[in-house]
Amino acid sequence: MAQVHPTAVVHPGARLHDTVEVGPFSVIGPQVVIGAGTRIGPHVVVEGRTTLGERNHLFQFCSVGAAPQDLKYAGEDTELIIGDENQIREFVTVNLGTVAGGGATRLGHRNLLLANSHIAHDCIVGNEVLLANGAALAGHVTVEDSVKISGLVAVHQFTRLGRYAFISGGSMVTMDVPPYCTVQGDRATLVGLNTVGLERGGFTEEQIGRVKEAYRILFRSKLSLQDALAQLRGELASHPEVDHLVRFVETSKRGVTR
């Protein structure tokens, strides 16, 4: 049996693995599924059609699976899907999806959401992402793997953040941030590459060198964006790290931060 504190309220319809721990005064709703080894701290609310994977840790006073903060939401049956080994700290809020956004908010594995951060409806967050204190993702934001979002950052709805991007503290992000890049400011602009993140992520010197050359061609040459992409396809094709950058830029709908 799951270890549930006597003061916690767990709905009979909730499905908790036998190794789950639920702390004092927490509330678990009827459609919640919680995987093995997950710890729910005191004064936590998990509601809605929310699935939590294994070995997550939800700290006191966080709210997971509440209704979207969207005026169009009318109680539709949407969901929140959270993977494994995430840490969700104090006063974090993560909302359900909406029908208009595909019906689900998704959070991958090994993410760290620091106090007072927020993930809105229909966001798709990858693996090993950091949201520092007070960082907020508006609805429909996509965050690829290993992105670091500093404190008090706000990300506009429908924006994408590419893998290994670094968002400096206090930035207001209104356009897509290319993979591997660092941005800062209001409105955020490119200030260089996140080479420290690439090194920590296991990129080789050759891979980082190719990323630097791709960055130079895309953002430091006088070529138009289409000509720069064409040059990249011609000179650096078949390298996964560059191919990913090219695809990201080519598929941007909001436009890319320059």
The verdict on whether 139 is a catalytic residue reads yes
Q: Is 121 a catalytic residue?
A: yes
CB 2 within 8 A of CB 21: yes
Tokens of 193: 């590459």
DSSP 77-96: --EEEE-SS-EE-TT-EEE-
Per the CB < 8 A criterion, the answer to whether 197 and 203 are in contact is: no
* Element at 213 (helix H, strand E): helix 205-215
Active-site residue, selected from the candidate residues 43, 121, 140, 244: 121
Question: From residue 78, how far is each of 95, 156, 178 by CA, in Å?
Answer: 10, 22, 30
Other CB atoms within a 10 A radius of the CB of residue 70 amount to 18
Alpha-carbon span 154 to 159, nearest angstrom: 11
Backbone angles phi, psi at 188, to 5 degrees: -60, 140
Selecting among 70, 122, 145, 176, the annotated active-site residue is 122
Whether 117 and 99 have beta carbons less than 8 Å apart is answered as no
Evaluated on CA atoms 206, 210, 211, 212, the torsion sign reads positive
| Cα–Cα distance measured from residue 33 to residue 76, given in angstroms and rounded to the nearest whole number | 19
Given 139, 140, 176, 244, the catalytic residue? 139
Euclidean distance between CA atoms 154 and 41, whole angstroms: 27
Residues annotated as catalytic are 121-122, 139
